Chain A
């Protein structure tokens, strides 16, 4: 026969208090989870709304002609933005040719000579440059290139975009290079690699997947920039691939068509916006794939 153990009053009070705190913790957990999920959903909402809107208004104007034909005068239906698409590609090409080597080089220097005075200055200035309003970059390109040369040009637009890319690429390169373990540097040095060779052939190569991701993100950013081009590439109604002439660009055409009073131009602007956002999306997906390739290479041990 076993005696029933009756909980003392103190034990009962303790159990009650415990039950209460558990209920409280659960409630707090549910509240916070709900709030954060709503915030997470809200963060994606603008993109979803924009995409839906663009597809609704722009998709009807998208056709093969949109990519192959030139803009038609007001009143004629049809026509495309072939010049803007080509122009954006040329501008992004020039921008990358300037921004990638300089940005990667600066980032590599800042990471490998992290404590040097110059690296600290460069790092700070890159952050400032990163926060610079893009319209200021346009004025800068106008002041140092357009005015001395006497005319707007694709070249000056590309330089403005390249200058915007430099700090973005430099900072991601630096971060990626810093993730390369120091033991790899030592291993290369011990094999008889000179320091510059270690940086270029071992460190930079090890960090390359991350740097490619950063570069693609930067390209996606500048592909949609309008303000730096207003005073440099200027825009062009006609087909031009000359670096010395003003050149069309999708963001510029979106801007000028959107503020025009014509319905045909409005729908072209919607379609151009859709193409631009699709381009950025594709680049972002490529960046994701590059990151995944890097994660895959890190297996083992």
Chain B
């Protein structure tokens, strides 16, 4: 992983408007001049943006626009694929996560991630699944009693507790797809990450399950920073405070969701939102 520490004057950080009714906003993650490659393919090109604390930021754009790759750079998952690399700066609470001394594994403990398809661990029951991340917390690892409380809290935050409280010992693969996805969200929340990354979390779910996940995302922003990649423009409009539109690896336009959807400034954003491509 090469970390380029030279400042990049070529990419201006887009000016950011205040989300409606927002109290003073703090930047949780600052991305500056981020480039990402898969081998020779330049998937993310010079993206700079701020992710605000306790806000839901949506990343939208057509397939292959680099939005998932961008998301995976925020917890250093991108580099786990062979041939993948990234340069630029990603500052989590002011600290460079691409600094040479930073262990990517520890970054992922602060920045949780949920994927397109639910990924419960099939050998673990529901309780063990939620507690899976706690087992690797090293010296911050909670005791057994604490774990029990954390599991309950995480399942409540993921709006799944009432559905599974009587069968915490049952296999997680017996849950429905939507329940499995909320279980994965609970699993990510259990380790109390500062940021939660959602990579098309409802793409494989039915409409009712999707709605539950959306409601959950809407609730979560009271507590943490959420970044959601989605194909679904209506979903971005419903759940997010800030929307960023990506095209061909570049950030075309970002701003308060309402403004982006009602008065896009870039003609390409408008074309996408009105369904002219993508």
Question: Which residues on B sit within 8 Å (CB–CB) of A297?
Answer: 122-123, 171, 173
In this complex, what residue of A is CB-closest to B132?
A: A191
Q: Which residue of A lies closest to B107 (CB)?
A: A192
List the B side residues contacting A267 at CB < 8 Å. none
Measured CB to CB, the closest approach of chain B to A27, in angstroms, equals 47
Contact of A191 among B80, B171, B180, B188 (CB under 8 A): B188
Name the segment of B113-121, B161-169, B219-227 touching the other chain.
B113-121
Q: Check A206/B108 contact, CB under 8 A, given A189-B77, A193-B136, A301-B180.
A: no
Number of interface residues of B (CB under 8 A): 31
With beta carbons under 8 angstroms apart, the residue of A115, A189, A299 that contacts B108 is: A189
| B123 contacts across to A, CB distance below 8 A | 205-206, 208, 297
- Report the minimum CB–CB distance from A192 to chain B (whole Å): 4
User: For the complex, what is the distance from the CA of A61 to the CA of B115, rounded to whole Å?
Assistant: 63
Query: Which of B108, B119, B177 has a CB less than 8 Å from the CB of A184?
Result: B119
Q: Does B174 contact A (CB under 8 A)?
A: yes
Interface residues of A in 136-192 (CB under 8 A from B): 181, 183-184, 186-192
Q: A197-B136, A206-B122, A297-B123 are in contact. Are A189 and B175 (CB under 8 A)?
A: no
B109 at the interface (CB under 8 A from A): yes
Residue A300 at the B interface, CB < 8 A? yes
Given known A-B contacts A187-B121, A191-B187, A197-B136, A298 and B173 have beta carbons under 8 A apart: yes
List the B residue with the shortest CB-CB distance to A181: B119
- Residue of A whose beta carbon sits closest to that of B172: A300
Nearest residue, chain B, Cβ from A296: B171
Q: Are B122 and A192 in contact (CB under 8 A)?
A: no
B80 touches A189 (CB 8 A): yes
A193 vs B82: C-alpha distance in the bound complex, in angstroms? 18
Residues in A with CB closer than 8 Å to B106 are 192
Answer whether residue A47 sits at the interface, using C-beta atoms and an 8 A cutoff.
no
> Is A102 engaged at the interface, CB distance under 8 Å to the other chain?
no
For window 98-137 of chain A, which residues contact chain B by CB distance below 8 Å?
A: 115
Hey, which chain B residues are within 8 Å of A192, CB to CB? 105-106, 108-109, 133, 136-137, 191
User: Taking CB as reference atom, which chain B residue is nearest A185?
Assistant: B80
A55 interfacial by beta-carbon distance below 8 Å:
no
With A184-B119, A197-B136, A202-B121 as contacts: A190 and B174 at CB distance below 8 Å: no
How near does chain B come to A110, taking the closest CB pair, in angstroms?
16
Nearest to A180 among chain B residues (CB) is B122
Residues of A within 8 A of B174 (CB): 299-300
Q: Are the C-beta atoms of A299 and B136 separated by less than 8 Å?
A: no
Give A274-301 as 1s and 0s: 1 = Cβ < 8 Å from B's Cβ atoms.
0000000000000000000000011111
Question: Which one of A201, A206, A301 contacts B177 once the chains associate, using CB atoms below 8 Å?
Answer: A301
Q: Which residues of A contact B180 (CB under 8 A)?
A: 301
Contact surface of A with B, Cβ cutoff 8 Å? 115, 181, 183-184, 186-194, 197, 201-202, 205-206, 208, 297-301
17 A-B contact pairs sorted by A residue (CB < 8 Å): A183-B115, A184-B119, A184-B122, A186-B80, A186-B119, A187-B115, A187-B119, A189-B77, A190-B112, A191-B133, A191-B136, A192-B191, A201-B135, A206-B123, A298-B122, A301-B177, A301-B180
**What 8 A-B pairs are tightest by C-beta distance, nearest first?**
A192-B109, A300-B173, A187-B119, A190-B113, A191-B133, A300-B174, A192-B108, A205-B123
